[in-house]
Structure 1
Amino acid sequence: MNTPNQSDPAANAPIEPAQPEAAPTRTHRWGLGAFFFAQAIFVLVSVTLAAALGSPDGMALVLMLVLPTVLAGAVAVLITVVRGNGPRLDFGLEWRWSDVTTGLAIGGIGLVTTTIATMLWAKWMGPDAQSTVSSLVDGVQLPPALAVVIFLHIWLVAPLCEELLYRGLLWGAMERLRWSQLNVFVLSTAVFAIGHLEPERTALLLVIAIPIGVARMVTGRLTASVVAHQVNNFLPALGLLLLSLGLLPA
């Protein structure tokens, strides 16, 4: 019978257990300037289109609503590719069922609180209470295809693009400065509300942003906040769809 070689230390050494693979760290070379640059793109494109198109309808209206947000979101992604590791690693933007279910749950709670807050805000502001998007669509009856494009943008696309900016670039820039998660949450929520440039709705936007930021904070990834934001935007998007089709009174 063969016995271990007593003179061979390697033969008698204990077997080390396999070490788990370390989780990837989000190291990137962009900071607050990246967020301000992407936000400036959004503002400049919005102002330019508003000056060029005046009171738009039809395709011009769709262009004014869609283009600034999509361009800003695309710039955010491009920054992560050029100065970081891409949105999957820098933002945690990846498909995970756990993040989706968390986003759905928190977004559902947020939808209830947002609906109540919107009703209170509308009662406080009176009959003229409208968002910027609602004021653009008010009185404009769109072809069904364009109305559906706006509906899908407000429901699905705009939340993704806004999350890339506020809970992506801004959140990641503050994390790079080693701010606490609570401070990152509070400041990004405030900047989200102010960044919409609707002073009369700032308080309402703060309420809307809280559950979205919570989804980002508890998971550490952007997917959950995107889903929560999309859940929150469904009813407003549906209302705009019915309004733009003439099926809902202004």
Structure 2
Amino acid sequence: MGREHEDNAPEVRDGLVFGVHWGFLAFFAGLGGYYLVSLVLAAVLTGSVDDLPARASTEIGPIILLAFLPNLLLGLGPAIGSWLRGRGLRADYGLIPNARDLKVGLACGGFALLVGYLLNLVLLAVYGPESVNSGPLVELASGLGDELVWLILAALVVVLAAPVTEELLFRGAMWNSLAFYRVPQWAILLLTALVFAQVHGEPSRMIALFGQGVAIGVARLVTGRTGASMVAHAANNLPPALLLFTMP
């Protein structure tokens, strides 16, 4: 009987790679790839960005959209980790939003917008409009000008692609790994929001990004699914994406 119980017991190392949950390795692989590609692009595109105003409009779009490449790679590590060591994207992360994910995600996305708006008002008073109002999207819009095709592609990346890759990393691989080691849910919510804010690389807006990260993370906390936080993230990114078409 003791032998039968031993045979049916779960493996102690299930879900582990080199003694560490595979989600942690997937998280650091995604984050490491993000910074590595960012450094490579910074080195390769330095000259291209300097003479951007002199380039033809057909060349500007591809150069600027390359800036999104590191962001898209954030989700590669979690995806590969899930395929190799996990049960697949749908099972590990709840990647495909269901009806409840949509409801909770939209509510949390609206709350994230409100939190970001209120915190940015405070940051405006502290840092001034030049620091808070400037950012990657402002630079992107000014570079693309009125090139409609490239603006549409940029908006799609901001609303669809970025929420998927970032949520796979933060509210997917990182969240699952911390939960595997029984870190309290409230601590996971704050930790993932903190890393989410730091990766965006906007020091003057970090407090607002942290608040928005918490609001987006609540969708994952309530539903237990990354699909809900993806919806919240997309809803939060929609107004800034639409503003791309209104900037001079």
**TM-score under structure 1 length normalisation:** 0.80
Q: What is residue 223 of structure 1 aligned with on the other side?
A: 227
Checking the alignment, whether the CA contact within 8 Å between 1:31 and 1:176 is kept in structure 2 is: no
Query: In 2, Cα distance between the equivalents of 1:240 and 1:124?
Result: 25
Instruction: Describe how 1:1-250 pairs up with structure 2 within 5 A.
Output: 28-29=15-16, 30-54=22-46, 55=49, 57-65=60-68, 67-129=69-131, 130-243=134-247, 246=248
Checking the alignment, whether the CA contact within 8 Å between 2:123 and 2:204 is kept in structure 1 is: no
Query: In 2, Cα distance between the equivalents of 1:136 and 1:94?
Result: 30
Deviation at 1:180, TM superposition (A): 1.5
**TM-score under structure 2 length normalisation:** 0.81
- Report the number of matched residues: 217
Query: In 2, Cα distance between the equivalents of 1:60 and 1:242?
Result: 21
Query: In 2, Cα distance between the equivalents of 1:138 and 1:119?
Result: 23
Checking the alignment, whether the CA contact within 8 Å between 1:35 and 1:165 is kept in structure 2 is: yes
| Deviation by residue 1:72-131 (Cα, 9 ceiling, x = unmatched) | 213321111011111111112233101111111121122222222223323432132222
Give the letter aligned to residue 202 of structure 2: E
Query: In 1, Cα distance between the equivalents of 2:173 and 2:98?
Result: 21
RMSD: 1.8
Checking the alignment, whether the CA contact within 8 Å between 1:131 and 1:201 is kept in structure 2 is: no
Q: What is residue 7 of structure 2 aligned with on the other side?
A: none
Give unpaired runs (5+ residues) of structure 2. 1-13, 17-21, 53-59
Give the letter aligned to residue 25 of structure 2: G
Give unpaired runs (5+ residues) of structure 1. 1-26
Checking the alignment, whether the CA contact within 8 Å between 2:115 and 2:208 is kept in structure 1 is: no
Deviation at 1:140, TM superposition (A): 4.3
Name which one, 1 or 2, has greater alpha-carbon Rg.
1
Structure ranking higher in helix proportion: 2
